[in-house]
Structure 1
Amino acid sequence: MQQSASPQQPMKKSLMTRFLDSVEYLGNLLPHPITLFALFCLAILVFSGIAGYFEVSVLDPRPEGAPGRTADGVIHVVSLLNAEGLELIVTNLVKNFVGFAPLGTVLVAMLGVAIAEYSGLLSAAMRGLVMTASKRMVTVTVIFAGIISNTASELGYVVLIPLAAMLFHSLGRHPLAGLAAAFAGVSGGYSANLLIGTVDPLLSGITETAAQMIDPTYTVGPEANWYFMFISTFFIAITGAFVTEKIVEPKLGKYNVDEASEDLTNDNMGLLTAIEKKGLMYAGFAVLVVSALLAWTIVPDDGILRSATGTVAGSPFLKSIVAFIFVFFAVPGFVYGKVVGTMKNDRDVIDAMAKSMSSMGLYIVLIFFAAQFVAFFNWTNFGQVIAVSGANFLQAINLTGPMLFFAFILMCGFINLMIGSASAQWAVTAPIFVPMLMLVGYAPETIQAAYRIGDSTTNIITPMMSYFGIILAVATRYMKNLGIGTLIAIMLPYSICFMIGWSILFYLWVFAFGLPVGPGAATFYTP
């Protein structure tokens, strides 16, 4: 008698699938970043009261006479859960907000970027770069364009990623490979760029505030990581192209148009019009003029924006870099808009800046609560106590060499899986790790550069990233049954290769070759 077939057993999930499912589940348990910061503020109040009651303290490692050293050589946790704490909170609530370093710098930079974005300059420049690339160079050009698009946050996600999928499809290549390449550049290479963008003053402001827990006179400028991020642009573009053509595209195989969820015959390739080409030509001339004027203020030995001693380090030029970001984007943006007709007068410029500010509402609310959290953390001395304890632990286990940064980068990448916002994650972690690693002997600029690697490389594999849903929606246009797991699997090789390769590049750049991560940036911190 023939034995009946046993019921089909459910397919076991792979270890990686279970891990990513767990990350998604844990990430969904987290509240909104704004709510998270509000809860952190409440937690600091409670724990500062407990620590203050038990008189938690550590020895101040700073030498006598050093800025910020306590009079008795001991750092005590200060309780905010009392009358003095309440007075401190209510009298400084507004001051904490308006004095938070990243607030003004990011908003000013965004005003200039907004003019270039709303005039259509950034979109046209991106389309011109991608659409004119040779077939041989199209992959690396798409990723390179994605990295450059980070200057205007949403542009790469909204314009380049759908465009790259269409471009690959028109060339007979798998459209999801184009989407993946663009996504890798825009999000995986988020911190890299040839230009100093809006993310630089945002992170440097948080780093400076954290560094001042150890050294109240320490400053960190937006240009702090420019050298390393400049060279990282080419590394990400080349590595991303290799992963696309040697790993991702062969795995995807030949594209079957029947998998599409809609008719793809009428894809608009977004070719530049004659007037857009003319606008780009005039905007390019404006860029040259602005660049020449800026160079005139700093390149000559007697440049008017050099420091009093005639050096570039510590000069008014570097201290005013946010103002120059504004000018660098605003002037070519207006010139382009004037030529193509998108900006006819001052009213159009004002409207562009106003639209940009209206879209920053969520960021401003986030900054309000983040500023309170950072201030509370400073007042309680929690950051210094944790930093000293952590530094003592690292020294006890003899983990103070450059290999420490590999662990730090991995940890930042893991946290990024659940807190997708670069500013939100750094506002939470910087007050702990910047002072801790400074006490071990590393400069804040170097610590920030390492953080940016971990923060960028896992953006492309976490559903917590704010634009992940948009990417998934574009992908399902070409593969109707595609799910989150499939998209993460496509992007995982980029994440792994970026994490390993970028960390090695950091080690070679900083420790093997002894090169600074930015203008005037030190590698090691000496009190």
Structure 2
Amino acid sequence: MADNAATTPAQKGILGWIERSGNKLPDPVFLFFWLIAGLVAISAIASLLGWSALHPTEVDEATGQARVIAATSLLSPENIRRLWVEMPATFTHFHPLGYVLVVMLGAGVAERAGLFGTAMRAGVRNAPTFLLTPIVALVGMIGNLAADAAYVVLIPLAGIIFHAAGRHPVAGIAAAFAGVSGGFSANLLPGQLDALLFGITEASVETVFGDFTANIAGNWYFIAAMTGVFLPVIWYVTDRVIEPRLGPWNAAMAGQGVSPEQRGEAAPAVSDEGDRELTAPERRGLRMAGLAVLFVVGLWLFFTLGPGTPLIDETATPEARLTPFYQSLVAGFFLLFLLAGWAYGKAAGTIDDHRGLVKMMAGAMEDLAYYLVLAFAAAHFVAMFAWSNLGLILAVNGADFLGNSGLPSWALLGAIVVVAAVLNIFVGSASAKWALLAPVLVPMLMLLGISPEMATAAYRVGDGATNIITPLMVYFPLILIFCQRWQKDFGLGSLAATMLPYSIGLLLAGLAMTIGWVMLDLPLGPGAGVFIESPATIQPTGPAIAE
């Protein structure tokens, strides 16, 4: 692997500029620390200049007018004391932290027990040749629930399966990469990413409007529809654009487009584990995992519809009755992944006893070590942004500006899609980008009557589309190695050029879907719509934004 990587030529043109510019950026953890330093300086300047805004929801009891919120310097004695005294609480109360840790306790068991990998192999191994591309793409998008497993299991497996079907293996790798990474937010079910992003959304709303509970299923209908929209795009680009460009596999074998084994060379360290037949224990494990999933679904239906309806608040207003159900979904996904993984592991022989189960849960927490460091930095950035009042001031003034601009809602959300896609080329972490954007974007759009769920959905569309063309994407070098297994001269530019049609197609399709969703005012998920009633008691001075 190292030899192949060493021969990758230096890139020129736009790809080279992207690679050089992105490599100059600090690690996302230190990016947040630098941003905190900049935030401190800006807050001090803003305080001296007297920046202020009228609070959108609070009234001064003495005057009866909207309360004036002034910029506060983070170098004030109160904020310095707050930083050092409240540091543990600032970190542990960061909403995404609890959501992600709980979901990953279960998902880590399912991954380590082998459930995710086996399920993906079962999904694509015996696919008909004609349906091979859409099945690979669909399993890739669903495989996002498995996080890293989708990259290391499905993508190389897709190349092997395409090769076995007489098709170009690089086309299979490209289709799987487009599904797993380009369709990063598309899925049939909410999962770890929903817990992560909506935790940040919740924290961003609370910095301005106080208590708010995010609904982890708030984008469920949207991401399911995204799966249906992205699937034909990946299918068309693979079969009509990429594979014809690569040429027939047999013809490619005349050159360097052959596997290392056929060239008589040692293959890169890429496992063929995914190509073997499912064993009887694995099949039994999948059946038991399916029963566990049905059990959890039935249990939640019982809690929702059964005696006492513990997940329905019968005393609340009609629109708030299902709030306990939405709040329970994080725990529901934890239990679903945990029991399905345990059932699979016991049947397949990958979990011996409860000690093995606990060890897998502990291992899942070890994998989150980097995320914990990132969350520490992001939590303090978000908290200090709120302490300075700059988020509220920017949100109110930004809403005023956009209201005066007369831009319709679909145009604003379309712009967010594009901005997220461009930013994603340089900052790959979905949580890092959303933690930067959400504290301003979410409250600002709420003041314009656009829901936090819709803001999150628009960000997700842009976040995935450019994953597959940036060399800064953490798995990009690994995908290059998978391709070089079959085509030795396949370089970084080759991979970026191969994935560019997917990126353009997914971005345009996602943008069109977002605009159409807003114009039709379709529900984004259970209890979540595109528009909300603005929480402001005093609306922005500009004209109402068009819906």
Instruction: Report whether the alignment pairs 1:382 with 2:390.
Output: yes
Give yes or no for contact 2:60–2:66 (8 Å, CA) kept in 1. Answer: no
Q: Is the partner of 1:461 in helix, strand or coil?
A: coil
Instruction: Report whether the alignment pairs 1:221 with 2:190.
Output: no
Show the counterpart of 2:288: 282
Q: CA offset at residue 17 of structure 1?
A: 6.6
- 2 CA distance for matches of 1:58 and 1:174? 60
- 2 CA distance for matches of 1:118 and 1:63? 49
Matches within 5 A, 1:12-411: 18-62=13-57, 64=59, 73-255=67-249, 256-257=252-253, 258-260=256-258, 262-263=260-261, 269-299=275-305, 303-309=309-315, 313-411=321-419
- 1 CA distance for matches of 2:181 and 2:283? 28
- 2 CA distance for matches of 1:299 and 1:501? 38
Show the counterpart of 1:487: 495
- 1 CA distance for matches of 2:208 and 2:298? 39
Give yes or no for contact 2:60–2:67 (8 Å, CA) kept in 1. Answer: no
Are the structure 2 counterparts of residues 354 and 509 from structure 1 closer, same or farther at C-alpha, using a change threshold of 3 Å? same
- 2 CA distance for matches of 1:123 and 1:324? 22
Give yes or no for contact 2:58–2:66 (8 Å, CA) kept in 1. Answer: no
Q: CA offset at residue 116 of structure 1?
A: 1.1
Give yes or no for contact 2:410–2:518 (8 Å, CA) kept in 1. Answer: no
Q: Is the partner of 1:459 in helix, strand or coil?
A: coil
Instruction: Report whether the alignment pairs 1:425 with 2:430.
Output: no
- 1 CA distance for matches of 2:66 and 2:228? 50
Q: CA offset at residue 214 of structure 1?
A: 3.3
- 2 CA distance for matches of 1:154 and 1:213? 32
Show the counterpart of 1:450: 458
Deviates more, 1:426-435 or 1:255-264: 255-264
Give, as a single letter, the amino acid of the residue that structure 2 aligns with 1:283. A
- 2 CA distance for matches of 1:45 and 1:316? 38
Give yes or no for contact 2:32–2:378 (8 Å, CA) kept in 1. Answer: yes
Q: Is the partner of 2:85 in helix, strand or coil?
A: helix
What do the CA deviations read for 1:223-256 (whole angstroms, capped 9, x no partner)?
A: 1111111121222222211111111111111232
Q: CA offset at residue 296 of structure 1?
A: 1.8
Q: CA offset at residue 501 of structure 1?
A: 0.9
Q: CA offset at residue 189 of structure 1?
A: 0.8
Give yes or no for contact 1:443–1:522 (8 Å, CA) kept in 2. Answer: yes
Q: CA offset at residue 42 of structure 1?
A: 1.3
Q: Is the partner of 1:320 in helix, strand or coil?
A: helix
Question: Where does the alignment leave 5 or more consecutive residues of structure 2 unmatched?
Answer: 1-10, 536-547
Instruction: Report whether the alignment pairs 1:524 with 2:515.
Output: no
Q: Is the partner of 2:190 in helix, strand or coil?
A: coil
What do the CA deviations read for 1:45-74 (whole angstroms, capped 9, x no partner)?
A: 1111111112112333447489xx997632
Give, as a single letter, the amino acid of the residue that structure 1 aligns with 2:69. I
- 2 CA distance for matches of 1:133 and 1:493? 25
Show the counterpart of 1:8: none
Q: CA offset at residue 299 of structure 1?
A: 4.2
Q: CA RMSD in A?
A: 2.2
- 2 CA distance for matches of 1:379 and 1:90? 13
- 1 CA distance for matches of 2:58 and 2:374? 37
Show the counterpart of 1:4: none
Give yes or no for contact 1:167–1:178 (8 Å, CA) kept in 2. Answer: yes
What do the CA deviations read for 1:448-478 (whole angstroms, capped 9, x no partner)?
A: 0000000011111111111111111111111
Q: CA offset at residue 78 of structure 1?
A: 0.5
Are the structure 2 counterparts of residues 22 and 313 from structure 1 closer, same or farther at C-alpha, using a change threshold of 3 Å? farther
- 2 CA distance for matches of 1:264 and 1:378? 60
- 1 CA distance for matches of 2:75 and 2:189? 45
- 2 CA distance for matches of 1:263 and 1:232? 39
Are the structure 2 counterparts of residues 380 and 314 from structure 1 closer, same or farther at C-alpha, using a change threshold of 3 Å? farther
Identity %: 42
Question: Where does the alignment leave 5 or more consecutive residues of structure 1 unmatched?
Answer: 1-15
Give yes or no for contact 1:260–1:476 (8 Å, CA) kept in 2. Answer: no
**Number of residue equivalences:** 509
Give, as a single letter, the amino acid of the residue that structure 2 aligns with 1:292. G
- 2 CA distance for matches of 1:405 and 1:415? 15
Are the structure 2 counterparts of residues 17 and 408 from structure 1 closer, same or farther at C-alpha, using a change threshold of 3 Å? farther
Show the counterpart of 1:515: 522
Q: CA offset at residue 330 of structure 1?
A: 1.1
Deviates more, 1:129-138 or 1:423-432: 129-138
Give, as a single letter, the amino acid of the residue that structure 1 aligns with 2:415. A
Q: CA offset at residue 323 of structure 1?
A: 0.8
The two structures have a TM-score, normalised by structure 1, of: 0.92
- 2 CA distance for matches of 1:235 and 1:360? 32
The two structures have a TM-score, normalised by structure 2, of: 0.89
